[in-house]
Amino acid sequence: MSVLFEKTRIGTMKLKNRIVMGPMSTTGESDGAYSMEAIHYFTERAKGGCGLIITGANLVTTEYEPRTSTELSNYHHAERLNMLVERCHHYGAKVCVQLSPGLGRLQFIDPLTSPYSAGESSVFWFPSLTCKSIPAWDIGNLVWKVGYAASLARMAGADAIELLASGGYLLDQFQTPVWNTRTDEYGGGLRNRMRFTLECIESIRESVGPGFPILVKFAPCHGFEGGRSLEEGLEIARLLEEAEINAIHVDVGCHETWYRSVSTVYQKDGHQLETIQAVKDTVNIPVFGQGKLFDPAVAEDAVASGKLDYVVLAHQMLADPYWAVKVKEGRQDEIAPCIGCNECLLSGFSGKHLRCAVNPLCYTEREYALPGPDPAGRGTDGSGQAVSGSTEQLGSNRAVKSVLVIGGGPGGMSAAIAAAKRGYRVDLWEKSDRLGGNLWAAGLPTFKKDVFRLIAYMQHQIDSLNISVFLSKEARAGEVIAGNYDKVILAAGSKPVIPRIPGTEYASPAADYLLGHKKPGTRIVVIGGGMVGCETAAYMKEMAEEVTIVEMLGDILAIADHCLNNDQALRSMLKERGIRIVAGVRVTDIIPDCVICEKGGETIALSCDTVILAAGYRASNELEQALDGKVKDLCVIGDAEAPRKIMNAIHEGYHAIRIME
- Going by C-alpha positions, the residue among 634, 626, 595, 629 that lies closest to residue 613 is 595
In 10 A of CB 598, how many CB atoms?
13
- Going by C-alpha positions, the residue among 442, 444, 423, 410 that lies closest to residue 654 is 410
3-state secondary structure of 94: strand
> E strands, 132-286, where?
132-133, 160-165, 214-218, 247-250
How far apart CA 651 and CA 356 sit, in angstroms, is: 9
How far apart CA 291 and CA 315 sit, in angstroms, is: 10
How far apart CA 485 and CA 468 sit, in angstroms, is: 14
Query: How is residue 543 annotated by DSSP?
Result: T
Largest CA distance in the chain: 81
- Going by C-alpha positions, the residue among 374, 396, 316, 418 that lies closest to residue 635 is 418
Q: Which residues contact 177 (CB under 8 A, 6 or more apart)?
A: 193, 226
- Going by C-alpha positions, the residue among 81, 57, 80, 53 that lies closest to residue 67 is 57
Q: Which residues contact 506 (CB under 8 A, 6 or more apart)?
A: 590, 591, 592, 611
Q: What is the set of active-site residues?
A: 169
Q: Compute the residue count for the chain.
A: 661
Alpha helices in 588-628 (DSSP H): 622-627
How far apart CA 67 and CA 4 sit, in angstroms, is: 36
Neighbouring C-alpha atoms within 13 Å toward the C-beta of 95: 27
The DSSP-derived string for 481-518 is: HHTT-SEEEE---EEE---S-TTGGG-EEHHHHHTTSS
> E strands, 303-416, where?
310-313, 402-406
Q: Is 329 exposed, middle or buried (0-12, 13-18, 19+ CB in 10 A)?
A: exposed
Query: How is residue 472 annotated by DSSP?
Result: T
How far apart CA 151 and CA 145 sit, in angstroms, is: 10
Instruction: Give the pairing of strands 13-15 and 8-10.
Output: antiparallel
Q: Is 110 exposed, middle or buried (0-12, 13-18, 19+ CB in 10 A)?
A: exposed
CA distances from 222 to 22, 120, 600 (A): 19, 20, 40
Do 499 and 648 touch, CB atoms closer than 8 A?
A: no
